[in-house]
């Protein structure tokens, strides 16, 4: 599988809901449609909630990797 290149990164470890989603949203606003944001989210509430909200706002989650107690996501702006 070829590596999906990301245009921006955001490390949201330790950032609580819903601030993590708000930060994601603001970062996505700086990108063009089709560009990719790389996110790091804690397990538990953040990974339960943020991906749902990202989908609801019309963006696409291209890749999810579990790395210990956090997740690395690649999100394509819709």
Catalytic residues: 17
Task: Specify the residue for token string 């690649």.
Answer: 74
Minimum distance, C-beta of residue 8 to another protein, in the bound complex (Å): 18
Q: Indicate which single residue of 51, 58, 67, 77 sits in contact with another protein (rule: CB under 8 A).
A: 51
Q: Kindly state the tokens that stand for 35.
A: 């560009």
Q: Does 66 bind another protein (CB under 8 A)?
A: yes
Burial of 30-42, coded b for 16+ CB within 10 Å and e otherwise, reads ebeeeebbbbbbb
Would you tell me which residues interact with another protein (CB under 8 A)? 43-44, 47-48, 51-53, 55-56, 60-66, 71
């Amino acid at each position: 599988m070829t590596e999906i290149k990301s245009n921006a990164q955001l490390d949201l470890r330790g950032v609580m809901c819903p601030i993590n989603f708000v930060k994601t949203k603001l970062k996505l606003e700086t990108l063009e449609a089709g560009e990719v944001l790389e996110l790091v989210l804690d397990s538990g509430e953040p990974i339960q909630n943020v991906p749902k909200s990202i989908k609801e706002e019309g963006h696409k989650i291209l890749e999810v990797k579990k790395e210990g107690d956090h997740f690395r996501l690649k999100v394509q702006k819709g």
